């Protein structure tokens, strides 16, 4: 009989494990043997973890992205401490960051980047330039600043002759990025919804597969996936970046930087390769499943 597993995914970070586990939904009348969550910093997730632990059920959570800030993870961002029993990370280097954030070393398990299961071969067309604005935040003042900066960056990109500009937006996070708010993307928009899980990840790699340059306001998961496909990245960073994979420019320098990257795609290739080696390692599904089952079996044996 398969172990019972309750999952809560976002952003497509949790792979399909239905061949190895009986996946329960929130309405299940039986308790799971384990829970697997995309984070353990949001209030709902914390409650799920604590309820599981009260019933002797192990709780696993996932690394679900990469921050550009030095040593920053969701725990610093949300001012929380880890509550799950184990975290699955994308690399040993990522594990070191989580250890500094409060995780015990023996509770950090490197399984590689789960997003890579949908990676597509890169076939750059020499003209597609993708702009990925910052996520919107709870701070209204910062949102206004982000909107204004996005407008300026898009204007710079749109003025470059002979390219195919695309804006990558997230359905929930960027709902205010529309003409009514003063930003006109001229229809060159690709929307994806992180609630769609695998479909969102597939769409990310689909649009990246033909790209020849990516522009971001700040280095993050999307720019890291671009690095995995050896796509040059340009960032308009206001903070020091841990990743160091992008060509950092001011808004008014975006146009010149894009033209340069299209002509010289090898720029910062060594840094991109280093990032992939250190932070975006191949996904090891067998290791993930085997570790979860060993923890579940040890718990059941004690029970």
Are residues 158 and 88 both part of a single domain? no
Q: How confident is the model at residue 230 (pLDDT cuts 50, 70, 90)?
A: very high
Phi and psi dihedrals of 258, rounded to 5?
-60, -45
Confidence of residue 195 (pLDDT cuts 50, 70, 90): confident
Instruction: Give the range of the structural domain holding residue 260, as residue numbers without chain letter.
Output: 118-279
pTM of structure: 0.90
The span from the CA of 246 to the CA of 41, in Å, is: 29
Closest Cα to residue 155, out of 141, 146, 145, 165? 165
Least confident of 16-25, 168-177, 226-235: 168-177
One domain for residues 102 and 122 = no
- The DSSP line for 191-240 is EE-GGGTHHHHHHHHHHHHT-SEEEESS--HHHHHHHHTT--EEE--SS-
Which among 13, 15, 48, 19 has a CA at the least distance from the CA of 34? 48
105 and 131 share a domain?
A: no
**Comparison of pLDDT for 86 and 183, the residue scoring more:** 86
pLDDT at position 247 is 87
**73 and 141 co-located in one domain:** no
Based on the fold, state whether residues 134 and 264 are members of the same structural domain.
yes
Q: Are residues 262 and 175 in the same domain?
A: yes
195 and 270 both lie in a single domain: yes
pLDDT tens figures, 75-126: 776 678 899 999 999 999 999 989 988 899 999 999 999 999 999 899 999 9
Instruction: Provide the number of structural domains found in the chain.
Output: 2
pLDDT digits (tens, 9 = 90+) for 141-153: 666 677 778 888 9
Report the distance separating Cα 47 and Cα 10, nearest Å.
Answer: 17
Tell me: do 214 and 289 sit in the same domain: no
Q: Are residues 292 and 217 in the same domain?
A: no
Q: What is the pLDDT of residue 140?
A: 55
Are residues 147 and 64 part of one domain?
A: no
């Amino acid at each position: 009989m398969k172990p019972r597993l309750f999952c809560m995914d976002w952003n497509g970070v949790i792979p399909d494990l239905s061949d190895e586990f009986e996946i329960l939904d929130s309405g299940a009348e039986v308790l799971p043997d384990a829970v697997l969550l995309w984070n353990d910093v949001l209030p709902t997730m914390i409650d799920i973890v604590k309820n599981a632990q009260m019933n002797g059920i192990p709780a696993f959570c996932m690394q679900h992205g990469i921050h550009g800030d030095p040593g920053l993870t969701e725990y610093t961002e949300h001012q929380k401490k880890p509550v799950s029993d184990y975290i699955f990370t994308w690399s040993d280097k990522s594990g070191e960051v989580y250890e500094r954030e409060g995780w015990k070393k023996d509770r950090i398990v490197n399984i590689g980047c789960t997003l890579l299961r949908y990676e597509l071969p890169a076939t750059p067309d020499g003209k597609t330039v993708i702009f990925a604005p910052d996520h919107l935040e709870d701070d209204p003042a910062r949102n206004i600043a982000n909107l204004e900066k996005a407008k300026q960056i898009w204007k710079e990109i749109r003025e470059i002759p002979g390219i195919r500009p695309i804006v990558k937006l997230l359905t929930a996070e960027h709902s205010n990025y529309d003409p009514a708010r003063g930003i006109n993307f001229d229809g060159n928009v690709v929307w994806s919804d992180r609630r769609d899980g695998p479909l969102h990840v597939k769409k990310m790699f689909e649009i990246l597969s033909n790209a020849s340059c990516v522009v971001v306001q700040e280095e993050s998961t999307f720019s890291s996936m671009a690095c995995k496909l050896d796509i040059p990245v340009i960032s308009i960073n206001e903070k020091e970046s841990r990743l160091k994979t992008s060509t950092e420019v001011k808004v008014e320098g975006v146009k010149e930087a894009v033209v340069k990257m299209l002509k010289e795609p090898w720029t910062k290739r060594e840094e991109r390769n280093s990032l992939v080696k250190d932070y975006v390692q191949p996904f090891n599904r067998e290791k993930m499943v085997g570790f979860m089952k060993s923890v579940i079996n040890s718990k059941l044996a004690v029970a």
